[in-house]
Chains A and B, each alone.
Chain A
Amino acid sequence: MLGPLHQLTAALYLLASLVAGVGMAVPSSRVARAAVGLLILGVVIHGITFSVLHTADPPPPLTDLPAAVSFMAWIGTIFFLALLRWAHLIHLVGWVAPVAFLGVFFSGLRLTAAGPATFGGSGSWPHAHVLLGSAGISLLGLAALAGLLFLTEHRRLKAKRPLSRRLGLPSLEALDRVNVAALAVGFPLLTLGVITGVLWVETVSGKLWTATAHETWCSIAWAVYLVLVAVRFGSAGQGGRRAAVFAVGGFAFLFFAVIGVGLIG
């Protein structure tokens, strides 16, 4: 059951990407709205996929990297859809849908191969850690995507080259708004992910800090984000370009700390 649902989710995200691509090429708001409809359908099927996943006995762990990536894609897409009207992001669907597709495609390649893991005696901390951490990472990833697009548009405006409407990019103001909202929600979730991770370690080893590479790098990444949040929401205010650079740089570091270090290790 999981296989077909996963494939259907991936197909819907892919279809949304293709339709959104047509919407950007034409360009047409009606086609973009159709892409949003497909993306919403994809999110619903994706949610059902997770529900079905947890009816299995024993359930496959979300602590598995592919499942976590799939979850990140899901949460990120939901957050994007929640911001869609508020920040006038209709044309950003052409950028978000492919990312969601890649996330699900990547997880689908390996999800069936992942066996159930056991976390004897550690209770629900592992799941809480992965779910909260993944949600936080996903939103900070969305902030980074908005930052990347902001920098592209900012550079062209500064170079006094006209932008092609075909790119369908939202205004700098809308992209900056996404950055702020994603950071405001994503950082607390990341913080909760770190706290639940520490509690998980404490349950397993009896110590709050075991100095593994994952713990160390993730703590540094969290501290980096703490500084970024302080600067962004501080009294002096921060220009959109600098905020965009920090969002992209911060996420690159976070990605390395969470995924890169694990792969190297």
Chain B
Amino acid sequence: MKILLTGLNHRSAPVELRERLVVEDPAPALRKLVAEEEVDEAVLLSTCNRVELIALTRTPEAARHRLRSFFRRDLGGDDLAAFGDIREYLYEFTDAEAVRHVLRVASALDSMVMGEPQILGQTKDAYRDAVDCKACGPILGRLFQNAFATAKRVRTETRIAERPVSLARVAVDLARQIFDEFADKRALLIGAGEMIEAALESLRADGLVSVCVANRTPERAADLAVRFGATAHGLDELETLVAQADVVLTSIGGNRPILTRSLVEAALRMRRNRPIFVIDLGVPRNAAPEIDSLDNVYRYDIDDLASIADGNAQERSREAARGEAIVLEQQQRFEGWLAALRAVPTIRHLRTRAEEIRHREVQRVLGRLALSEADEAAVQALTRSIVNKILHQPVSRLRREAEREEGLVYLEAARELFGLDAEELRPGDGLGGSSSGAAGDESEPTDDGPGDR
């Protein structure tokens, strides 16, 4: 059994290609894949930054070709002609590398913005979709459970997600250090722009309700007001508007600052010195730097925000090293579990052989004795118990030893001693059929499977 991963992401492929490969509903593609010979289990992760197919197979070479063709034909079709040979954009990982990659992706260590929280939810969705269409079995199921546990550990045991790295989130983080809550606060937007909208969106997500918009031209202000669900004003009302606003987001053209010291001073007097947070995203700056000397004004321009975001990104990079150590630990744990599965066919065969002998011998004896039904049941239970007790020690030992390469000699010895056939691991072995648990659940190993360590 091999775990294969084929995919492309923000580093290996341009956005034009990634957006063509995005899969809205992975179920039909996954059903088709697992119905074929080459793939036993599969999970498809599709986000705006990556499309990855993780598969379990008994025929690695054939499966590798199938995964490549999945990207080329099933997802892309004729649309991809402009990109030439799509294989140039694909990366492929096998077994340990594939496992490590899945754990790193779920933990946001492979994300464009390291430590971002969305990828874990997207990975859980991908896993659920695969479980729902019965494409994810016990082995990939276990891998993804391990990935979720890894992501949780990375988030709680490192500071990777502690500080924001986008300018909009940095601005909101700063606002949170000034204001306790936003529900009773008012924001003033002067001008418009992508970053202003992102910052406003983040503030709204944190509870901000009241917004007003000011612009040079009333028509433009009205347009923006409709877009943001705000009231529209001209710049001639600026002093009053600033006096009413707790957060001022500004990004408007012009060579001279519109938020001058005298204007802000007057506004502060009108608002009885309650604090104002000015987020100046304009270049050149819209707020005069002199307003920094006013006690109750906190002004941050785009360079200030970028400098904090850079510092936070560096902090995240430092924390990433600790995250990688956790990934390695979890990877070893999964590989130990996977290796222990090698003992499953031998153990199953051993148990079957013992049960056959027990059954044959019991039937032989019962034929000679005239026992009541209750006594017969007691004899059956007694003999089953004896067999289980005799097998308990060797079975446990075989499971443990199978986790190490050197321990495989014990499996060989068991097969020789008991005259068992060498047997391949079958899909579904060891965990009692297909995995159907929701994301976050832990699968329970069956008697034949390796225990949770």
Determine if chain A interacts with chain B. yes
CB-CB contacts below 8 Å: B18-69 with A: none
Enumerate chain B residues within 8 angstroms of A238, measured Cβ to Cβ: 273
B178 partner residues in chain A, CB cutoff 8 A: 157, 171-173
Taking the complex as formed, is B144 at the interface, i.e. its CB lies under 8 A from any CB of chain A? no
Partner of A240, one of B174, B176, B269, B296: B296
Assess A241 versus B272: contact at CB under 8 Å? Given A163-B177, A173-B179: no
Interface size class of B (residues with CB under 8 A): 20 to 34
- CB distance A237 to B274 under 8 Å? yes
Majority SS of interface residues in chain A?
loop
Chain A, interface size category, equals: 20 to 34
Q: Contact at A177–B298, with CB atoms within 8 Å?
A: no
Q: Indicate if the CB atoms of B308 and A162 lie closer than 8 Å.
A: yes
Choose among A170, A172, A177 the residue that contacts B275 (Cβ–Cβ < 8 A).
A172
Instruction: Kindly state the separation between the CA atoms of A171 and B206 in the bound complex, as whole angstroms.
Output: 14
Is B311 within 8 A of A162, CB to CB? Answer: yes
Does B180 lie within 8 Å of A162, measured CB to CB?
A: no
Query: Which residues on A sit within 8 Å (CB–CB) of B180?
Result: 87-88, 170-171, 173-174, 177
Looking at the complex, which one of A162, A173, A235, A237 makes contact with B163 (CB distance below 8 Å)?
A: A162
Indicate which residue in B162, B163, B269, B292 contacts A158 across the interface (CB closer than 8 Å).
B292
Q: Is the CB of B177 within 8 A of A157?
A: yes
Q: Are B308 and A160 within 8 A (Cβ)?
A: yes
Q: Which of A218-249 contact B (CB under 8 A)?
A: 235-242
Q: Indicate whether A241 sits within 8 Å of B274 (C-beta atoms), given known contacts A162-B312, A163-B177, A173-B180.
A: no
Interface positions, chain A 153-190, Cβ under 8 Å from B, are 153, 157-158, 160, 162-163, 165, 169-174, 177
Contact at B304–A160, with CB atoms within 8 Å? Answer: yes
A171 touches B179 (CB 8 A): yes
Cα separation A165 to B162 with both chains bound (whole Å): 8
**With A and B bound together, what is the CA distance between A174 and B177 in angstroms?**
10
Complex Cα distance A241/B275, Å?
10
Interface centre among B163, B177, B271, B273 (most CB of A within 10 A): B177
Query: B169 to nearest A CB, angstroms?
Result: 12
Q: Is the CB of A241 within 8 A of B296?
A: yes
Contact of A157 among B163, B174, B181, B274 (CB under 8 A): B174
Q: Are A240 and B177 in contact (CB under 8 A)?
A: no
Contact residue among B162, B181, B272, B311 (Cβ-Cβ distance under 8 Å from A237): B272
Alpha-carbon distance between A165 and B164 when the two chains are bound, in angstroms: 11
Contacting residues, chain B, for A157 (C-beta < 8 A): 174, 177-178, 298
Q: Which residues of B contact A153 (CB under 8 A)?
A: 177
Question: What distance in Å separates the Cβ of A16 from its nearest Cβ neighbour in chain B?
Answer: 23
Q: Which residues of B contact A174 (CB under 8 A)?
A: 180
A87 to B274, CA, bound (A): 17
- Whether a CB of chain A sits under 8 angstroms from the CB of B219 is no
Please indicate the chain B residues that have their CB under 8 angstroms from the CB of A160 in the complex: 300, 304, 307-308
- Give A26 Cβ to nearest chain B Cβ, in Å: 9
Interface string of B178-206 (1 = CB under 8 A from A): 11110000000000000000000000000
Taking a contact as CB atoms under 8 Å apart, the answer to whether B163 and A240 are in contact is no
A241 touches B295 (CB 8 A): yes
B304 and A173 contact, CB distance less than 8 A: no
Neighbouring A residues of B308 by C-beta, 8 Å = 160, 162
Of all chain A residues, the one with the shortest Cβ separation from B292 is A158
Q: Shortest Cβ distance from B130 into chain A, in angstroms?
A: 33
Distance (Å) between the CB of B396 and the closest chain A CB? 38
Residue of A nearest to B162 (CB): A165
Q: Which residue in chain B gives the minimum CB-CB distance to A242?
A: B295
Residues of A within 8 A of B292 (CB): 158
Least Cβ–Cβ distance between A83 and chain B, in angstroms: 12
In the complex, what distance in Å separates the CA atom of A78 from the CA atom of B216?
53
If A177-B180, A237-B274, A240-B295 are given as contacts, then 18 extra A-B residue pairs at C-beta distance below 8 Å, sorted by A number, are: A157-B174, A158-B298, A160-B300, A160-B308, A162-B312, A169-B177, A171-B180, A172-B179, A173-B178, A173-B179, A174-B180, A235-B272, A236-B272, A236-B273, A237-B272, A237-B273, A239-B268, A241-B296
6 pairs, CB–CB < 8 Å, chain A vs chain B? A160-B308, A172-B177, A173-B180, A236-B269, A237-B273, A237-B274
Chain B residues with CB under 8 Å of chain A are 162-163, 170, 173-174, 176-181, 268-269, 271-275, 292, 295-296, 298, 300, 304, 307-308, 311-312
